A and B are shown apart, each in its own frame.
Chain A
Amino acid sequence: MKHFVIGLFIRLALIFYGEFHDKTFQVPFTDVDYKVFTDAARNVLMGASPYSRHTYRYSPLIAYVLTPNIIVHQAFGKVLFSILDLVMAYLIYRLMLKRNVPIHKAQLSALSWLYNPLSIIISTRGNADTLSSLFVAATLLCLYARKPTFAGLMHGVCIHMRLYPIVYSLPFYLSLSSGSQFSTEKNNVCDSSQSNSKAPPENNEATEYRNGFYSILGNCKNVFIPNKCQIKLVFGCVFAILTLTAVFYWLYGYHFLYESMLFHLARKDVRHNFSVYFYLQYLSAGAVVSVWQRVLMFVPQLFLLVALSFRYGHLFDLPFCLLAQTIVIVMYNPVITSQYFIWFLSLLPACIPMLDLTLKQAVFHSVVWIVAQLAWLLPAYWLEFRGEDTFVYIWLQGIAFFCANMTLLARLIQAYNPIKLWKKTN
């Protein structure tokens, strides 16, 4: 509780500083999109469409939620995001407890979000990406609480807010499967609705976990024929997406559909960014993109996402599954900006207790990740602010950054060891 107050205090102090900074300095502290949100909120208040603000590419919900930006104070949204940050920390804590992580480790996970400089800066700059992370965490919590309909609804809202969580659908779906390699409990609530065993039998689970590979063939049927929970999940999700889409389509028409969905699907930005595909896209801009190029861009990502879903589609492994998948979609995305990193950083705290890493190793990997980013920033700075032709270096650093992330993902997979945790707790 004490930490929540301190966390809130730090964030409020930064918001105050941001107000001061924006008035004093040329380069603003506030996120570019925050102004977009505010303008869109102003449009909404005036009865216009939020999409009449150019580059507003989000759900109208964000504009609605931020209308107090106009009525109350401009910094309202930042305070709201900061409070949501605290809620996120609490959700991480609850999530850990649901997974029988010892209390002190659960607290550690929550604190690592609460005091994470990145999460602090991102929420106080007024970036709305915390919002989608919050919905992801809420979906996970619903799944752990055995409420597939709510999980589906949350997931649907989450996809509506941000498109990327759509790749989590497969692991979510699989995690509710009756097949023993995916479910946490012997008597799954989805198969027999009367059994509601509170304590998961960890030992059995551990052995089953090991035998997962052998039972996978035998359980093919269970994987592919949906059970009650899976139907509820899918129903909730589809219902939420369809309702939200229909309502906003009715309100704002095609403009909504294009800006909040189609744009993100077809997004192709030739300007320099962290993506490994940046120079390739820029050089082939204007030219006809061949089919094989599209396939090559799409297929590795698809393989990895599906493989990770099946490998970690176990209810217990879900946070790690989402983390790995998010690293994959971010790294294979044709456009990467630094705000995308919050997508996987928000999932990291929930996985920390299951990672078999020493502090030294963890620090080492973090440093490598940050150095790889800085190494990209250097030629990008020379291009953008010095006007030098450093495209090739940016491309090479993009590749280096990609490799650094892939290595990091590989290390995480190798270090992921939930069995160790069970052994400790037992």
Chain B
Amino acid sequence: MAVHCNLLKCLFECVVFYFQVRQVGTNRSFPWGFAILCLLPVLHNVVGSRSSFEEQSSSCGLHATIVRQVEREGFHRELGSLIELVAQNPLEWQNCTIALQETIPSGLYVNQDQLMDLERQGTLTACPETFVDVEASQWHSEAFTVLVYSALQTAHNLLYAHLRMPIHLRYHAPTESGGYAAVFVPPPKLMIRCSNEITCGRKDSYFSAPCDGCSGPQCSWLQLPFSTNTPKDGLRVMVPVGNKSLLSIVNAVTFLVTGGGCLYILSILVSTWR
């Protein structure tokens, strides 16, 4: 029976994955190489995580996958998540909202004001659960969580949402040899809430969280297990860091230049003194 189920799940995965490629393939910034690469971990999950599948069978007949990637380069990025739910009974899930609870590590931040603008434009509803200092460096910061909300679009038995949240890298402490530091974005927590009350699933997979914003009334959310392309320690983002071994030379040259500039201007002042 278990083997049978696994095969079935594999079939699901393939269908889902086909959709993923079709979906994100229309997005101009989606790299195809990445699409092929992400197939591997997804398949790996299928084979390797039978226990999570058992949980899933208790998850109200929903099968969730999240394909994640960090788009763009440099200090200003976008965290893209394609969430797809395959429903055994799609009619039950007509008016549902999903929420991702993202853990933003200390090396990254989201800009609350930017998120508020995006919400006003209707592009994205997301808000950090704490105050975020957008100016602090990584070594002065701590990880925090962001709640990202989205309605679900429906195509037959597939419910999906594509979210892109702007994230920004913090400055990292310089290291002895410079180069790059790595920041890891861990996988999120996926939650769902419907206008009609959901009663299925285990009691302990229900959470209380704000209904559609950081504050406001609390709703009951059902946490869903999901398979994802994200490695265990998270998506890796590289950020350039300063080279500490240059400190003495930078010190010397900088002060030579600023001191020299001062003397130069003073000499000009003296030479033009009439």
Contact = CB atoms under 8 A, between A and B. Distances in A.
Interface of A: 35, 39, 54-55, 209-210, 212-213, 269-271, 276-277, 279-280, 282-286, 293, 296-297, 300-301, 303-304, 307-308, 311, 328, 331-332, 383-392, 395, 399, 402-403, 406, 409-410, 413-414, 416
B137 A402 contact: no
B74 A293 contact: no
Given A311-B269, A387-B74, 7 more contacts: A293-B251, A296-B259, A300-B259, A300-B262, A304-B266, A392-B246, A413-B265
B274 A210 contact: yes
Interface in B62-80: 73-76
Interface stretch (B40-48, B81-89, B174-182, B208-216): B174-182
A96 B268 CA distance: 26
Interface stretch (B3-11, B21-29, B145-153, B235-243): B235-243
Contacts of B262: 300-301, 303-304
B173 A286 contact: yes
Contacts of B76: 384-385
A210 B274 CA distance: 5
Interface string B253-274: 1110111011011101100111
A39 B74 CA distance: 29
B261 A406 contact: yes
| Interface core residue of B76, B131, B171 (most chain A CB under 10 Å) | B171
A271 B133 CA distance: 14
30 contacts: A212-B274, A270-B137, A277-B254, A280-B247, A280-B251, A280-B254, A282-B171, A283-B243, A283-B244, A286-B173, A300-B259, A300-B262, A301-B262, A304-B262, A311-B273, A383-B240, A384-B74, A386-B74, A387-B238, A387-B239, A390-B240, A391-B178, A391-B242, A391-B243, A392-B243, A399-B254, A403-B261, A413-B265, A413-B272, A414-B272
Interface of B: 73-76, 113, 131, 133-135, 137, 139, 171, 173-174, 178-180, 238-244, 246-247, 250-251, 253-255, 257-259, 261-262, 264-266, 268-269, 272-274
B257 A409 contact: no
What's the dominant secondary structure at chain A's contact region? helix
Interface centre among B134, B173, B242 (most CB of A within 10 A): B242
**Considering residues A283, A392, A406, which has the most beta carbons from chain B within 10 angstroms of its beta carbon?**
A283
B137 A300 contact: no
A226 B14 CA distance: 87
Nearest to B173: A286
A311 B74 CA distance: 47
A22 B176 CA distance: 43
A194 B244 CA distance: 66
B178 A270 contact: no
Contacts of B250: 279-280, 283, 395
Nearest to B247: A283
B174 A409 contact: no
Given A384-B75, A387-B74, A402 B266 contact: no
Nearest to B77: A387
B127 to A, nearest CB: 14
